[in-house]
Chains A and B, each alone.
Chain A
């Protein structure tokens, strides 16, 4: 390690931590260290379908934040190089009248954030996606949804950050945090570091990291299991909720959400259910072969919305934890840079403060 004193330490090198690291690395003279107990993509960021998904992110301010992030990826393609961000559009098929009614509510909510959500008739859906089941009665659709290559994104975040002077420490678990007169002391398996400012962006583990400083970050875990098919003919042109087809023809399928802690196994019952649902959506999938499966553990803030900002009452301590890391890394990185370097963000982010949980009596302190 070149130095043990930093301006900013980021805990977590997943897509959120690296998005923040990348943005901070562009600040001249700012000395940063990013620490991870594993390596980039060893956790949730490496076990994802990697949608950049906007159109069902309610309430509207969350939709707006997601859209801003999707737009930021267009810029990042120039800054980082090819990250395979493809704005293919996203489809949520509808099979019942009550869901059709809910679609109207969604459309109205998203219109507040100028996010185009169309409610398609059956004929219109099947024109867009001819391989979808004729049993559907409609769909919601937005052209703004898409996908990204998580491996390229994370690799390029890291590489560019390193070229800009950011330092990293991998396979290094944080084992304690202390407040100091200077800022924070970060105790790790590989040594102790001092920093003026500290960013917690450790995904699933943020909750545990926060507790070192008696800060509650209310989140829970949700396992998602994904089936991977052999490369096949083009069956899906857009993101169909639960599925995407990669450029090489492979289809990723996953619908599950399970509260099983940190257990990353896959299980037969869930895989069968996911396969069944996939075939119901796209009947031609029945003869497509599964070649492997994997699972990832999502981190979900207790109310589903991102947790972002400076921790109230804790000067120079920041947190960025969210589900939808792939969708939001671009904008949360940018906003965290603003916050850390200027003390404020260019757009209002109060709705995402961890303080909201205190108001609801969800934080014990």
Chain B
């Protein structure tokens, strides 16, 4: 309905995934712009090993 900030989800998810995996964002493969982007566990979003 016009409120989804998909591109930001995408950016955040990639940033976190890259950090989590210890690689550059450019090394992440198989990504594209769509919803859902990359389902991301809350613990990964927080950035801690809960």
Q: CB within 8 A of B45: which of A271, A283, A292?
A: A271
Question: A286 and B37: CB pair below 8 A?
Answer: no
A interface footprint on B6-49 (CB within 8 Å = 1, 0 otherwise): 10110010011000000000000000000111011111011100
Question: B36 and A151: CB pair below 8 A?
Answer: no
Segment at the B interface, from A201-209, A213-221, A273-281, A357-365: A273-281
Question: B1 and A295: CB pair below 8 A?
Answer: no
Interface SS, A side: mixed
Indicate whether A266 reaches chain B with its CB closer than 8 angstroms.
yes
Question: B42 and A230: CB pair below 8 A?
Answer: no
The interface on chain A, measured as residues whose beta carbon lies within 8 A of the other chain's beta carbons, has a size of: 33
Question: A288 and B4: CB pair below 8 A?
Answer: no
The interface residues of chain B lying within 8 Å CB-to-CB of A291 are 9, 35-37, 39
When C-beta atoms are compared, the residue in chain A nearest to B3 turns out to be A47
Indicate whether A293 reaches chain B with its CB closer than 8 angstroms.
yes
The interface residues of chain A lying within 8 Å CB-to-CB of B9 are 266, 290-293
Question: A288 and B47: CB pair below 8 A?
Answer: no
Shortest distance from the beta carbon of A108 to any chain B beta carbon, whole Å:
37
When C-beta atoms are compared, the residue in chain A nearest to B6 turns out to be A292
4 further A-B pairs in the complex, CB-CB below 8 A; given A292-B5, A294-B3? A41-B2, A265-B5, A279-B50, A286-B50
- Which residues on B are within 8 Å of A, measured CB to CB? 1-6, 8-9, 12, 15-16, 35-37, 39-43, 45-47, 50
- Which residues on A are within 8 Å of B, measured CB to CB? 38, 41-42, 46-47, 151, 227, 229-230, 264-268, 271-272, 275-276, 278-279, 283, 285-296
